[in-house]
Amino acid sequence: MTSGFWFQYAGALVVVALLLGGLYAVVRGLARGRVLASAERRLLTVLESTMLSQHAAVHVVKVGKRYVMLGASNGNVSLLGDLPADEVETWLGEQRSILGAHRATLAEAMKFLRGKP
């Protein structure tokens, strides 16, 4: 085997390692729940978005202490209505508890992969 083969092999391993490291960073960021955690501290936060078609979406946005539903399409944003704060905060609490369970599961999986009990 030539040295060129080994150079390409090492380069491929470096690329795979970088991809895995990036994936780990993304999973760790998601596990921390940055959006849910920051929703309490920010004045404006997009809590949820759903695409309805290629050019249309519905967003739930927290503005101050209000929760509003916005419709967005090609260059237009429309207020669809206000959402009851107690319902949204109940949903947020449920999401935070689910996130905590996922975070604990992910931490246990990482400990298992590292070989720690």
pLDDT (tens, 9 = 90+) of the chain, 117 residues, equals: 677 888 888 888 889 998 888 888 777 666 555 555 555 667 788 888 889 999 999 999 988 888 999 999 998 999 999 999 888 888 888 877 777 777 677 777 777 777 765
pLDDT at 58: 95
Exposure letters 47-71 (e unless 16+ CB within 10 A, then b): beeeeeeeeeeebbbbeeeebebbe
Dihedral sign from CA coordinates of 74, 79, 84, 85: positive
Total number of residues shown for the chain: 117
pLDDT of res. 56:
94
Side chain identity at 80, as an amino acid letter?
L
Cβ–Cβ under 8 Å, residues 83 and 68 = yes
CA distance 58 to 79: 10
Asked if residues 94 and 85 have their Cβ atoms less than 8 Å apart, the reply is no
Identify which of 21, 15, 45, 20 has the alpha carbon closest to the alpha carbon of residue 33: 45
- How much is the mean pLDDT over the chain? 81
Which amino acid does the sequence have at 56? A
**How far is Cα 38 from Cα 70, in angstroms, rounded to an integer?**
20
This prediction's pTM: 0.53
For residue 50, the 8-state DSSP code is E
Residue 39's pLDDT is what?
A: 57
